Amino acid sequence: MSITLLGFDYGSHKIGVAVGQSLTASASPLETLTNTRGKPDWRRIGHLIDEWKPDALVVGHPFEMTDREANNAEPAKRFARQLSGRYGLPVHLVDERLTTRAAWLDLGHEAVRDPAKVDAWAAKLILETWLSIR
């Protein structure tokens, strides 16, 4: 049985969003949302949840290369708790280490032309990471 998921790359200014499904363990970038002063675009997130009807959500959990949580881990975990509380869906955290760097490499010149694509691509990588280890 295949499940649908939305993945999030939470950042202090932007939140990348991707959609994926378990049957092929693949994901696709959707869009990058604004995060103004720690206030995500809840209206748009709600619209994406209504549109895609995910069974669960996945949020990137920031770690440093030393295996310590990164400085931005607490806001990402708060965002995950808020998602769970608002939408009543299971929310999973997954190590997002190096996903933004990988997104820049994957997108190449396209990332330079449109940096907002990087966040959605990082969300895709976060979601595929979770799908590969579940």
- pLDDT per residue over 81-107, tens digit each? 999 999 999 999 999 988 888 888 888
> Which alpha helices (H) appear in the chain, and where do they start and end?
42-52, 73-87, 99-107, 109-113, 116-133
Tens digit of each residue's pLDDT (9 = 90 or more) over 59-84: 999 999 998 999 889 999 999 999 99
pLDDT the model gives residue 60: 96
- Rg for the chain, CA atoms, rounded: 14
Superfamily of domain 4-133: YqgF/RNase H-like domain (3.30.420.140)
pLDDT the model gives residue 100: 84
Pairing of strands 14-21, 26-36: antiparallel
pLDDT the model gives residue 134: 82
pLDDT the model gives residue 94: 96
Tens digit of each residue's pLDDT (9 = 90 or more) over 30-66: 999 999 988 999 999 999 999 999 999 999 999 999 9
For the chain, the distance separating the N- and C-terminal CA atoms, rounded to the nearest angstrom, is: 14
Domain edges within the chain: 4-133
